[in-house]
Amino acid sequence: MSEEVTKEQAAGNDTSIKNADTSAANQESKKAPAGADTVSGARSGRSPRGGARRNFGGKKPFRKGSRFRSERPKPEFEQKIINISRVTRVVKGGRRLSFRVDMAIGDKKGRVGLGSGKATDTSLAIQKAFAQARKNLIKVRTTKTHSLEHAVEAKVTAARVELMPNKGRGLVAGSTMRTMLQLAGITDVTGRIHSRSKNKLNNAKATIEALRTFSMPLPKVTEAPKRNDRRGGRGGRFNKDRGGRRAPSNR
């Protein structure tokens, strides 16, 4: 009986110690401030809701390509598509569709050109039109106020236009004529279309012919020459002076 009594006394002592510890912990939690848990969570590197806390040291997170983005260089010429039309060609097997693009380019410093390209794809037609317009560039001689020296008229097929300088009135023109004059950098000019033609390409061609009166000599744009000294071809090691025989090697 003595052993059972001692065991019951020891168990009672343990339960009393545990109850004392829990009551002390509750009193400390009541005394602690409201933001104590968040502070301890911040010190431990975890958010109060759980999970890792993202801290960038007060700086914005680095985004790829945001700071070291390279600026694109400005193009030499500004492009303006005048007209896009769908062309149908009748062949033996049926019809073949293609696109024709009429484009005007200019640097707003006196140079302006007009070209058209045709292809089955619109992007390829635009490239062809730009290449042709680059070959057909003209340099326009203007006054100090970026105007024309005198009035001029031009006629292409059914399109007939007239350009007249005005004093400080700005650019007074419409349709494709305004586009061509803007790309050439010409201001203080009044333009009129005297014909009833609605063909944008012919009106643009007539404007170019009128501006050609004030054109200056401009070097033509040529394509890069092709290489003829490729291996395996007629150039290089192949000697034509020996009757088509190969030149002996120096080995």
Domain range annotation of the chain: 78-216
CA gap 110, 215 in Å, rounded: 9
Q: pLDDT category, 38, cuts 50, 70, 90?
A: very low
Give pTM, 2 decimals. 0.58
Residue 184 CA to residue 61 CA, distance in Å, equals 46
pLDDT at 1 over 60: no
Least confident of 11-15, 33-37, 63-67, 189-193: 33-37
User: Taking the alpha carbons of 152, 158, 101, 222 in that order, is the dihedral positive or negative?
Assistant: negative
Give residue-wise pLDDT tens across range 165-207.
Answer: 988 889 999 889 999 999 999 988 999 999 888 899 999 999 9
Report how far residue 218's alpha carbon sits from residue 216's, in angstroms, rounded to the nearest whole number.
Answer: 6
Q: What is the per-residue pLDDT for 52?
A: 54
pLDDT confidence band for 105 (50 / 70 / 90): very high
Yes or no: domain 78-216 corresponds to CATH 3.40.50.920: no
